[in-house]
Amino acid sequence: MAVYMIYGCATLALLAALIYARKVMAVTIEGKTEEINRFREISGAIEEGAMSFLVSEYKYVALFCCGFAVLIYFALGYVHTEPDFAGLYAAASFLMGAFTSSIAAFMGMHIATKGNVRTAVRARSGIAPAFTVAFQSGAVMGFGLSGLAVFGLITMALIYHELIPDIHIAMEMVTGFGLGGSTVALFGRVGGGIFTKAADVGADLVGKVEAGIPEDDPRNPAVIADNVGDNVGDIAGMGADLFGSLAEATCAALVIGASAAAIAGSSDALYYPILVSAIGIPVCLVTALMARVTETNQDVEKTLKKQLVISTVLMTVAMWFLTHEVMVDEFILNGQTISRNNVLTSLLAGLWGGLIIGFVTEYYTSHSYRPVREIADASKTGSATNIIYGLSLGYKSSVIPVIVIALVVFLSWYSAGMYGIAMAAIGMISTIAVGLTIDAYGPVSDNAGGIAEMCELEAQVRERTDILDAAGNTTAAIGKGFAIGSAVLTGLALFAAFLTSSGIETLNLLSPVVFAGMLAGTTLPMLFTAQTMRAVGLAAFAMIEEVRHQFRTIPGIMEGHGRPDYKRCVAISTTAALREMVAPGILVVLSPLLFGILFGIEALAGMLAGAIGVGVVMAVSSSNAGGAWDNAKKYIETGVHGGKGSDTHKAAVVGDTVGDPMKDTSGPSLNILMKLMAIISLVFAPFIQAAHSWIESILGM
Amino acid sequence: MAVYMIYGCATLALLAALIYARKVMAVTIEGKTEEINRFREISGAIEEGAMSFLVSEYKYVALFCCGFAVLIYFALGYVHTEPDFAGLYAAASFLMGAFTSSIAAFMGMHIATKGNVRTAVRARSGIAPAFTVAFQSGAVMGFGLSGLAVFGLITMALIYHELIPDIHIAMEMVTGFGLGGSTVALFGRVGGGIFTKAADVGADLVGKVEAGIPEDDPRNPAVIADNVGDNVGDIAGMGADLFGSLAEATCAALVIGASAAAIAGSSDALYYPILVSAIGIPVCLVTALMARVTETNQDVEKTLKKQLVISTVLMTVAMWFLTHEVMVDEFILNGQTISRNNVLTSLLAGLWGGLIIGFVTEYYTSHSYRPVREIADASKTGSATNIIYGLSLGYKSSVIPVIVIALVVFLSWYSAGMYGIAMAAIGMISTIAVGLTIDAYGPVSDNAGGIAEMCELEAQVRERTDILDAAGNTTAAIGKGFAIGSAVLTGLALFAAFLTSSGIETLNLLSPVVFAGMLAGTTLPMLFTAQTMRAVGLAAFAMIEEVRHQFRTIPGIMEGHGRPDYKRCVAISTTAALREMVAPGILVVLSPLLFGILFGIEALAGMLAGAIGVGVVMAVSSSNAGGAWDNAKKYIETGVHGGKGSDTHKAAVVGDTVGDPMKDTSGPSLNILMKLMAIISLVFAPFIQAAHSWIESILGM
């Protein structure tokens, strides 16, 4: 039964995405002829830039994935004597995961670059119609991606279940799918993160500060790159990240579940983790249909936040029914008897934990509350106090989310063992369709504002898109909180699956090798953050040089009749992003492999624990500090403390610029670090063990 | 034999301190009468301010310690049936530790406030004589403190060994001494750190930025508070921190050692950890006698750095002999057979690990190398890029030191079990007399420069003190590296001792309660850092208000004939520091107690592991980022990128101000967090266990 339901839900998702896409495309771009031309020119440039980045990026993704697939083929083929084509199976599911994730990102980007201009056009009629277009554009991404993910997962699982006699090994082979998704996310989050902030910081520093022209001014050669960046980072990057979490958490649950006889014996119970994500699709569809902004109810932010609450409540009910209908009564895992209610507890802990984290994130990053206002106050004495308060807020803001995660971990682990952690991760991400809809809504609205500015539409239009954008900023912060929370739980679930398949039942922290491994692991998020922040700095410098060069050499550019070379700026961001992501990418991929091979599985487990522990606090504090600085600046722009142009505002701009790479590059990239290192350990565990034994035998230990 | 040697060395240290003090005091304050009066006025104000802060602070210290002693008395008296007066013993050694540490801090502050003006006076004759005075002032602190610590430790150990039949319990009672030292360090580091940076940031923001007067200008009412702050933070705070490390690491070694029969049976072997610190005293004395700056060799920085290398080399030889002469051949600890060579390995790993950490710290914080110069380059595009590069450098700079610590932990633990970790901590801090001499030398030179400026001495004098001060900045950074490294090892040693006395031999990270505990523990350093950074911000605002008020209300203050009210500024920093340290203080003291009582010893152990893991990377990166920003600014002041007054310089000043609380308040305060939480767990372990069982029985679990 489960399998049919899963395919039904996946089909529903893809249908919904198709219908939403048609609705968006049905909006005609109206106006005077010259306006229409301008619309086409600007939105065409953004679309072209976005697609040219994606094409360049996916060339490298394809190259990297092929190489990595070969590594998987040989490494796993070498150690697995059973089944016959182990290396091939793992490599194939890896490529499938990478491919599916790439398709989803392309789809999201495509519709976003169509939706932005249509949102701007509809904003001429009012907030409500503009909201509808932006929301529907986001929904294409939300439903399309979750449909593809669920479809891919169940298909791979069914095929391998059929082909491979040992069910546990079959599910281990499926984990390649998660690894593939996560590898694409590495490029999307890290490369995309560097792209977007290089363009943003570069455009701001040279445009606003040096040339004194406003944001989104078409005279700034980096302005298109900046708008492209919003799509690249917040749509392709975020999508790939969440795709990875969903795929990986599910793979972890499949692997762990398969080691319990009762689950392995029932296909319903075995595929239950996929079913939970699948059932999220109709739940989210019902929720999305309730999203309504009218001319009488223009509270966009409340509407979006309600989406999260409604989907969580509906999902609670759905999970309850589902668990009682589909899951086995009880099963035994590592000697622990686990009932279906224990599994339900884990799911619900994750689901509601995510909502709490989201709202705590909002508290720390929205200027409706005290923390951000304190940063605005501190800006009165200059940028130094603005930075001190922002950093301090960021650190503090990690406390409650991480304690909530600790509680979710405790509750789910205590209830349902390591299976519980995986189910908590799935629970947290089960409303992904709505979450991603809201996330993707943000950059579409943001772009719409940019287009309105660049096409010199009526001031009213920009005001309306600003309202949409402001709501998007808040939900983006909430979305980041979710993404981090689910990344940590997913990382832990993979960690648990890795230990399960390595046969480790106790990991004694009081052994030199584990403790030293943990200490060494704490340095990885630090190095990774340092690399990604510095990468943004370097890429931004390249952008600044280019913009200065164009200002100098293109005649009439400042008067508005010399056309800036937008493409060169996009190309610079693209090249810089792809070059600068190499070092952090290598760090993430190679450290678990090398560390494990040199020091053994236990040291590797310690290293992962250290990396996850530091990774989570760094990710939350970087994201929130960045969000808070951004909104402190926006708060001042509402006219407080002297408003725009005052010294206080200038001080707040410094904080905003510092926060840019923290919230959009290094912070979210840590999600990938936590998950990717764990899934590489899981997939390569047998190879690492074999290679380490080989080294030990050589050293004669 | 060991006991006599220990007392001999302690006496030697106190004698050396006395002789150095007499030499410093023998310098006469010469000059024209009005100059002498001015000298007396300024240095008197600094001395008075420093002492008035210390007196206020120690009032609270005394109050807090009495309360805490009562808690210890009842909590430990309640759970320990053996010996009869367990609570009393533990409380008494606690009070002794607190008292000894306080005396050492008072002594160091006293001589520093005498040495500063004498250094300024002697700087009129040349660099060499000025260096001698500053160095000797530092040596009073270095030798005085190590002598007192060693004296206190051996005395308490001998008395309790005599009074308490069970040697393991006797040594556990001695740990109160370490707890006392660490409690004073909490006030010294956190309170002192807030004091010094409130004054510094406040004086800079309102003086340099608003009023446009230079640093150390006597018209600035906060200038005396700023100079007082250097002594309070870098002398009293640093001294108490290192006293704590020495005392705690030794207590941990005593407790762990006492559980091995062969060690418990030989008083030489038992007191061997104290003996190592004791033997460091003659080694450091020989080293200190080699410190020579002459008119022909004016490379002060090299001279100071040589001190560290020489003492490490000599100490290596001394440890080799000592271990072979005094330590038992081998002993058995938790089933592991440990030879004297294993113990020596641990000591040397700590000793040399410390030196490596010191020099890596120098690389990242000195403007002779690339990292700091990159920050200076990044300042050309404004303060935002300056901050991005500085944060990134800080994060990156934690990698090698933490990996060195991980290696030291692995090596010492692998060689000599938990005893090895404690010995590694002792090894790292064994050259404390030289380390502290160099640390205390810094603020004395810094103050001398301030006095030269305020007394309007010849420009040449300021140039000379600037050379001394610059060298002091470098060694201060190295000293901070050492302090963090030894704090981590000490924290780990205490953690090990805590687990040993709680009877925990394996701590399974794969249990929900331990893992959730670890996650919860990661938030503590973040919250603590947030609290201390924000505290500096709040205290600095109070200072700014006061300075503005004085500028407004004191007639003729800007023309130099109205006398600013220095005392009010000192009082403001004092009050703010003592008020703002309450919250972080409570956090550190209560979290291990509450967490342990509520969730049990294993959860507490997980929490400590998480706190130490995040604490170390945060401490290193905060300290180094701060040091690097400071020196990037100084590098620009040498004339690079436009020099003083340029926009690049202004951008660098922002980084320096942000770095101030990071490097002098929150970063070093994390040392205390790591050690104090661990020693509280150790001392209260039996009470925590009893209280937790009681709660469990109530809840019927």
DSSP string, B445-486: HHHHHHHHHHTT--HHHHHHHHHHHHHHHHHHHHHHHHHHHH
Q: What is the pLDDT at residue B184?
A: 93
The percent of residues above 90 in pLDDT, for chain B, comes to 66
What are the residues whose beta carbons fall under 8 Å from the beta carbon of A26, sequence distance 6 or more?
Answer: none
Contact between residue B126 and residue B464 where contact means Cβ atoms under 8 Å apart: yes
Residues 610-629, chain A: which have Cβ within 8 Å of B?
Answer: 610, 613-614, 616-617, 621
CA distance from start to end of chain A? 53
- Quick one: closest CA in A to B599, which residue? A410
Q: What is the pLDDT at residue A75?
A: 87
Measured between beta carbons, the chain B residues lying within 8 angstroms of A621 are: 526
Q: Which two tokens stand for residue A410?
A: 């405790």
Q: Between chains, do B389 and A517 touch, taking CB under 8 Å as contact?
A: no
Separation of alpha carbons B187 and A294, rounded Å: 58
Contact between residue B143 and residue B433 where contact means Cβ atoms under 8 Å apart: yes
As a whole number, mean pLDDT of residues A406-434 equals 95
Taking residue A132's Cβ as centre, other Cβ atoms within 10 Å add up to 19
Q: Is the pLDDT of residue A506 over 70?
A: yes
pLDDT tens digits for B116-152? 999 999 999 999 999 999 999 999 999 999 999 999 9
Q: Is the pLDDT of residue A470 over 70?
A: yes
pLDDT tens digits for B318-366? 999 999 998 999 999 888 999 999 999 999 999 999 999 999 999 999 8
Pairing of strands B330-333, A330-333: unpaired
Task: Provide the sign of the torsion angle of the four alpha carbons B512, B515, B521, B523, taken in this order.
Answer: negative
Angle at Cα B616 formed by Cα B611 and Cα B617, nearest 5°? Answer: 110
Q: What is the pLDDT at residue A559?
A: 83
Separation of alpha carbons B99 and B152, rounded Å: 10
Measured between beta carbons, the chain B residues lying within 8 angstroms of A410 are: 512-513, 515-516
Of A382, A407, A540, the CB nearest to B205: A382
Query: What phi and psi, each to the nearest 5 degrees, are found at residue B457?
Result: -75, 170
Pairing of strands B330-333, B336-339: antiparallel
Q: Between chains, do B512 and A410 touch, taking CB under 8 Å as contact?
A: yes
Contact between residue A434 and residue B533 where contact means Cβ atoms under 8 Å apart: no
**Continuous segment of H or E residues that includes residue B326:** helix B300-326
What are the residues whose beta carbons fall under 8 Å from the beta carbon of B460, sequence distance 6 or more?
Answer: none
Q: What is the pLDDT at residue B337?
A: 93
Classified as helix, coil or strand, B31 is coil
Pairing of strands A330-333, A336-339: antiparallel
What are the residues whose beta carbons fall under 8 Å from the beta carbon of B638, sequence distance 6 or more?
Answer: none
How close A306 comes to chain B (CA, Å)? 30
State the average pLDDT for chain A: 91
Separation of alpha carbons A400 and B519, rounded Å: 11
**Continuous segment of H or E residues that includes residue A171:** helix A167-185
How close B306 comes to chain A (CA, Å)? 30
Nearest to B83 by CA among B539, B92, B676, A342: B92
Separation of alpha carbons B689 and B695, rounded Å: 10
Least confident of A276-290, A605-619, B450-464, B513-527: B450-464
Taking residue B22's Cβ as centre, other Cβ atoms within 10 Å add up to 11
Q: Name the CA radius of gyration of chain B, rounded.
A: 24
Q: Which two tokens stand for residue B582?
A: 């309450």
Question: Which of A33-37, A595-599, B558-562 has the highest mean predicted lDDT (pLDDT)?
Answer: A595-599
Q: Is the pLDDT of residue A344 over 70?
A: yes
pLDDT tens digits for A146-199? 999 999 999 999 999 999 988 988 998 999 999 999 999 998 999 999 999 988
A381 touches chain B (CB under 8 A): yes
Measured between beta carbons, the chain B residues lying within 8 angstroms of A382 are: 205, 209, 654
Taking residue A236's Cβ as centre, other Cβ atoms within 10 Å add up to 35
Measured between beta carbons, the chain B residues lying within 8 angstroms of A395 are: 526-527, 529-530, 533
- Convert A337-357 into a string of H (helix), E (strand) and C (coil): EEEHHHHHHHHHHHHHHHHHH
Separation of alpha carbons B286 and B291, rounded Å: 9
Contact between residue B632 and residue B392 where contact means Cβ atoms under 8 Å apart: no
DSSP string, B421-435: HHHHHHHHHTTHHHH
Contact between residue A143 and residue A99 where contact means Cβ atoms under 8 Å apart: no
Separation of alpha carbons A154 and A270, rounded Å: 11
Tell me the count of A-B CB pairs closer than 8 A. Answer: 232
Q: Is the pLDDT of residue A701 over 70?
A: no
Of B410, B517, B610, the CB nearest to A512: B410
As a whole number, mean pLDDT of residues A201-211 equals 80
How close B659 comes to chain A (CA, Å)? 9
Q: Name the CA radius of gyration of chain A, rounded.
A: 24
How close B536 comes to chain A (CA, Å)? 9
Task: Provide the sign of the torsion angle of the four alpha carbons A258, A263, A265, A270, taken in this order.
Answer: negative
CA dihedral A653, A655, A656, A660 (to 10 degrees): 140
pLDDT bucket at B701, cuts 50 / 70 / 90: low
Q: Peptide bond before A443: cis, by omega within 30 degrees of 0?
A: no
Angle at Cα B420 formed by Cα B418 and Cα B421, nearest 5°? Answer: 70
Q: What is the pLDDT at residue B475?
A: 84
- Quick one: closest CA in A to B532, which residue? A392
State the average pLDDT for chain B: 91
Beta bridge partners, A339, equal A330
Contact between residue A383 and residue A650 where contact means Cβ atoms under 8 Å apart: yes
Q: Is the pLDDT of residue A530 over 90?
A: yes
Taking residue A515's Cβ as centre, other Cβ atoms within 10 Å add up to 28
Q: Between chains, do B658 and A387 touch, taking CB under 8 Å as contact?
A: yes
A121 touches chain B (CB under 8 A): no
Separation of alpha carbons B362 and B370, rounded Å: 12
What are the residues whose beta carbons fall under 8 Å from the beta carbon of B548, sequence distance 6 or more?
Answer: B206, B210
Of B391, B403, B517, the CB nearest to A520: B403
DSSP string, B240-273: HHHHHHHHHHHHHHHHHHHTSHHHHT-HHHHTHH
- Substitution target in B381, B399, B400, B666 with the highest count of A β-carbons within 10 Å is B381
Q: Between chains, do B613 and A616 touch, taking CB under 8 Å as contact?
A: no
Q: What is the pLDDT at residue A353?
A: 96
What are the residues whose beta carbons fall under 8 Å from the beta carbon of A175, sequence distance 6 or more?
Answer: A90, A93, A248, A251, A252, A254, A255, A497, A679, A682, A683
Separation of alpha carbons A225 and A229, rounded Å: 6
B391 touches chain A (CB under 8 A): yes
Separation of alpha carbons A300 and A131, rounded Å: 8
Of A391, A522, A541, the CB nearest to B613: A522
**What amino acid occupies position B55?**
V
- Substitution target in A388, A498, A527 with the highest count of B β-carbons within 10 Å is A388
Measured between beta carbons, the chain B residues lying within 8 angstroms of A392 are: 529-531, 533-534, 537
As a whole number, mean pLDDT of residues A19-43 equals 90
Q: What is the pLDDT at residue B259?
A: 87
Measured between beta carbons, the chain B residues lying within 8 angstroms of A518 are: 609, 613
A579 touches chain B (CB under 8 A): no
Separation of alpha carbons A65 and B177, rounded Å: 59
Contact between residue B252 and residue B488 where contact means Cβ atoms under 8 Å apart: no
Separation of alpha carbons A627 and A633, rounded Å: 10
CA distance from start to end of chain B? 53
pLDDT tens digits for A549-558? 998 898 888 8
Instruction: Cite the DSSP H helix spans in A271-367.
Output: 272-289, 300-326, 340-365
A554-590 burial code (b ≥16 CB/10 A, e <16): eeebeeeeeebbbebbbbbbbebbbebbeebbeebbe
- Determine the distance from the C-alpha atom of residue A344 to the mean position of all C-alpha atoms in its chain, rounded to a whole number: 26
A414 touches chain B (CB under 8 A): yes
Classified as helix, coil or strand, B508 is strand
Q: Is the pLDDT of residue B261 over 90?
A: no
pLDDT bucket at A691, cuts 50 / 70 / 90: very high
- Substitution target in B336, B399, B509 with the highest count of A β-carbons within 10 Å is B509
Of A387, A396, A519, the CB nearest to B402: A519
Q: What is the pLDDT at residue B365?
A: 92
Q: What is the pLDDT at residue A206?
A: 82
Separation of alpha carbons A233 and A253, rounded Å: 29
Q: What is the pLDDT at residue A232?
A: 87
Q: Between chains, do A609 and B513 touch, taking CB under 8 Å as contact?
A: no
As a whole number, mean pLDDT of residues B631-657 equals 91
Query: What phi and psi, each to the nearest 5 degrees, are found at residue A337?
Result: -85, 125
Separation of alpha carbons B154 and B96, rounded Å: 12
Separation of alpha carbons B444 and B137, rounded Å: 8
What are the residues whose beta carbons fall under 8 Å from the beta carbon of B499, sequence distance 6 or more?
Answer: A510, B418, B505, B507, B605
Q: Is the pLDDT of residue A374 over 80?
A: yes
- Quick one: closest CA in B to A371, which residue? B534
pTM of the model: 0.94
Taking residue B368's Cβ as centre, other Cβ atoms within 10 Å add up to 12
